[in-house]
Structure 1
């Protein structure tokens, strides 16, 4: 009987090793390779990270880009590319006990809450989808570091310095990722700044010492959309003043611009943003506004992101994330 058990135990041991830090996740069949090919040819650097622009003289390799791309790769069922990116992240951006640098560089000693929450979500999803527990272990360490070092009175902050252990005094409300935070187990106090913020019609962007502040007189609509999406997810309602502003802009201009003057409520220039339209689509999906969702999708599909010399990876990947979700 014991002789019969030996081959079975050997197989189980091999399977277990295949899911350890030295193994590889099972290879999957991606839905498409179009995005991966474009990224490899235009944004992928020799260090395995993602550059902000193609052929930039001073490229930045951001953890923000890694998180966005990881989320796309999970949706595209691409375990092989995901694992390659995961290894590069651990080798190039992780510091000691998996503190993640917000950008690549020897002198960088801080992380960013928004970027780490995005990485956490991607790793958790990938662990389940690709049946690779190491991703979950990595995500759990990121979460543990934030709960230990990155909160003040229960409220997360923008960043902390993992060498000095000093932390920011501010929280940008656009940094919220409530779904990741719920999984991690942040207390209810963590969501209070977002629950109580008001828009007139724009949101104040910063919370510090119990009060709200703005980033200035020029409003960045990427930040506003990120806040609006998370406001809806946390409060289960849309902010009426901000939503009315969007409705008015569609009616008057048939578009949403990238930046507005906080006082006059008018666009500071005629620039439109791919990322803004991508986030608008997510916002309208979240708030159940089907007609406006289609408006945002139509505008998004008109935005040309094919030239990596002029298209920031943030814009390119936000568009592709919305489109792959739409096609699912």
Structure 2
């Protein structure tokens, strides 16, 4: 074979075996711009600077920025976290205020856990040890202070030095630290009913059920149970039947009749429904849920969408595992 043809042949072989690099995710320049004020703090509703500024919002946005590997925007939100959300009490205690620009003095367990997890992932991704140190302080404070009757509880009010009296079961997400002993509360949940109790009263040591159930909470509890190897047969059967018959899920249901109590759907609810279907191996239904959420966006837009729903939709659509 002539030398030139040999080079061409080898080149062709090399190209056929090459694997293109994965496409880098990019946060659009105008992404969520209607939710930010001038300092990039997130308000709950688009173009409504007088709506609430929540730790829930910054935690979910940090999670999204880690997913998108956006170092610059994450650093910006980290500064916002330190400047307005973080309250230091003494030398060791670091609290995250659930609501800023108002006179609030409590945190929220699920938001703190989510923020700490995002900080640790960001440290791994961007090599910023300070992020993990802040996460350790947040979780360390919860472990030391935010307890009642030997249970880690929903919140702590540092002004009056008072912990909550309950543990909301939907808060016990996958990022919950092992030393908080969350699994024992999930293990003892009654499996003989379609819907789960909402929370555990730590003083009375009883599970408490509401007459009307919120589907985001129910889905999160089912996911939390799957995380520790516990299935939810009755809930799973009801959910699949409801989806197959209705092609949608509503935000709230009657605990006894299992009938909807509202007629609205929720993008955040569909995020958790998608996740639950994936966890139990119902991949086709998980994809159908994404399609339903997208149809809602295309029909209604996001002009009146709470940031909680907005960011959950984008987390679902950008995450390659969903």
TM-score (norm 1): 0.84
Equivalent position to 1:50, from 42, 58, 61: 42
SS at match of 2:320: helix
Corresponding residue for residue 135 of structure 2: 139
In the TM superposition, what is the alpha-carbon distance from 1:32 to its structure 2 partner?
1.6
Provide, for residues 30-52 of structure 1, a one-character-per-residue CA deviation record: whole Å limited to 9, x for no partner. 61222x5222x211123432110
Provide, for residues 106-143 of structure 1, a one-character-per-residue CA deviation record: whole Å limited to 9, x for no partner. 41100000000000110000011100011001100001
- Asked whether 1:150 is paired with 2:158, we answer no
Equivalent position to 1:83, from 75, 79, 83: 75
Corresponding residue for residue 14 of structure 1: none
Corresponding residue for residue 304 of structure 2: 310
- Asked whether 1:38 is paired with 2:31, we answer yes
Cα distance between partner residues in 1 of 2:194 and 2:275: 19
Corresponding residue for residue 188 of structure 2: 196
- Asked whether 1:212 is paired with 2:207, we answer yes
Closer/same/farther in 2, CA of residues 307 and 248 from structure 1, 3 Å limit: closer
Cα distance between partner residues in 2 of 1:284 and 1:133: 35
SS at match of 1:256: coil
Corresponding residue for residue 321 of structure 1: 315
Corresponding residue for residue 6 of structure 2: none
Cα distance between partner residues in 2 of 1:135 and 1:67: 13
Corresponding residue for residue 124 of structure 1: 120
Contact 2:54 2:100 in 1 (8 A): yes
Unaligned runs of 5+ in 1: 1-28
Q: How many residues align?
A: 292
In the TM superposition, what is the alpha-carbon distance from 1:219 to its structure 2 partner?
1.4
In the TM superposition, what is the alpha-carbon distance from 1:307 to its structure 2 partner?
4.3
- Asked whether 1:233 is paired with 2:227, we answer yes
Contact 1:43 1:308 in 2 (8 A): no
Q: Could you say what the CA RMSD is over the residues aligned between the two structures, in angstroms?
A: 1.9
Contact 1:53 1:313 in 2 (8 A): yes
In the TM superposition, what is the alpha-carbon distance from 1:231 to its structure 2 partner?
1.1
Cα distance between partner residues in 1 of 2:50 and 2:196: 33
- Asked whether 1:176 is paired with 2:168, we answer no
In the TM superposition, what is the alpha-carbon distance from 1:193 to its structure 2 partner?
1.2
Structure 1 or 2: more strand by fraction: 2
Corresponding residue for residue 218 of structure 2: 224
Provide, for residues 206-231 of structure 1, a one-character-per-residue CA deviation record: whole Å limited to 9, x for no partner. 101321112x3221111111111111
Cα distance between partner residues in 2 of 1:201 and 1:240: 8
Cα distance between partner residues in 1 of 2:39 and 2:188: 43
Q: Which has the larger radius of gyration?
A: 2
Corresponding residue for residue 23 of structure 1: none
Provide, for residues 176-198 of structure 1, a one-character-per-residue CA deviation record: whole Å limited to 9, x for no partner. 1233313xx33x4x321111112
Contact 2:62 2:77 in 1 (8 A): yes
Closer/same/farther in 2, CA of residues 63 and 57 from structure 1, 3 Å limit: closer
Greater RCO structure (CA 8 Å; 6+ sep)? 1
Cα distance between partner residues in 2 of 1:327 and 1:282: 9
Cα distance between partner residues in 1 of 2:276 and 2:305: 23
Unaligned runs of 5+ in 2: 1-22
Provide, for residues 7-60 of structure 1, a one-character-per-residue CA deviation record: whole Å limited to 9, x for no partner. xxxxxxxxxxxxxxxxxxxxxx961222x5222x21112343211002326310
Cα distance between partner residues in 2 of 1:30 and 1:37: 18
Contact 1:42 1:308 in 2 (8 A): no
Bigger mean CA offset, 132-141 vs 159-168: 159-168
